[in-house]
Amino acid sequence: MSTDSLRTDASSTEAASLDDRHHATDLRERFALPDGVVYLDGNSLGALPRAVPAAVRDAVEQQWGRDLITSWNTHGWWDAPARVGDALGRIVGAAPGQVVVGDSTSVRLHQVLHAAAGLRPERTVVLADPDTFPTDLYVLDGVARQLGWTVEHVAPDEAVDRLRGTDDVVAVVYSHVDYRTGVLWDLPAVTRAAHDAGALAIWDLCHSAGAVAVDLDAHGVDLAVGCGYKYLNGGPGAPAFIYVATEHQAAFSNVIPGWHGHAQPFAMSGEYAPADGIDRARIGTPPMLSLLALEAALTAFDGVEIQDVRARSLSLTGFLRRCIDALVPGTTYASPDDEGRGSQVAVRHPDAYGVVQALIARGVIGDFRTPDIVRLGVAAPYLTHADMLAAATELAAVLEADEHLDPAYSRRSAVT
């Protein structure tokens, strides 16, 4: 028996043991996953929860098809943005009445940034990670031009030092998890440092909501945004969410005032008066089918604490790294090897795009991020330790046979 076979047999035994240990958080039966696929791209688009098709069918055929416009009342369409917000809030550690769902992350970023300007009108500097997801930078630069702010590019792990003794910073605007490397930034420490400096803490939770314990209320986060289609599994283009801490809601100014955020929306007044509470962050009519799909998707987390999902995630990603190290010695990682990672393992390789395409051909779906990252997203609720071993085994096979060098895998699709 070869050394590789011995290593694989040992890993198989460990995988079975770990899957047994984490059996209580194995939610795979709540998801519809194709046979023969190890899906490691839930950090881009979550898998389909089994509850969603029936919910969407009912929304289309019964609510829209038969009950028509009466569904705004009889099926609670009007209240859905806040109702789904409360369900999502449980996952990100927000008490009811602080999260509302609808629109896109880009729109939500515009809202929280302009709201921050109103909350800290005397300040003009905002700190941002230069390596964050590009949309965050685009939106921030646009808002800064509008407001006369200065954007300082400061990595999250340097923010505490930059904030010490300062009185010019409006807010820090950071992603909780780096979308490429999977680094989990220290949200509690950065938030404390921002508050000590009189600044606001704004967090983008796109790569952490549903994967790690965020604990917005416990850590005193001021404002946050995130999408619904990654680890929350709400489907392609699922609506985004906005979190406004209760203490800021009375002073929250909505830069995009729409009739759904009006105190008396059906009075049809020509003058805007903001609603009380989190409803003032609403804008216009939400995409109801997507919103109801997200509501159904969130039921996949019923009966499970996010801390336990996180424990499963750390076990899965740690085991994936050990398997890769055993089967592909010398692998270089962009993601940390400890609890400082989110829920992904990022492998560096000069031909990363080809590696990803070759893996997909073998039934292991990850994705590529420029310039050299093979991004393996681990959505803990529907993945197993056996899946991690399978992924590492296929990665080793791809590299051993140089499959990633096939010219067919060098032609890049529009979506990489």
Beta bridge partner(s), residue 344: 377
**268, 277, 294, 356 from 260: Cα distances, Å:** 11, 13, 19, 43
Pairing mode, if any, of strands 364-365 and 38-39? parallel
Task: Specify the amino acid at residue 403.
Answer: E
CA distance 63 to 288: 11
Q: Return the number of other C-beta atoms located less than 10 Å from residue 152's C-beta.
A: 15
Asked if residue 392 lies in contact with residue 376, where contact means CB atoms within 8 angstroms, the answer is no
* Residue among 97, 147, 154 at smallest CA distance from 120: 147
Residues known to be catalytic: 133, 204, 229-230, 375
CA distance 174 to 232: 20
Q: HSE (CB half, 13 Å, CA atoms) of 327?
A: 27
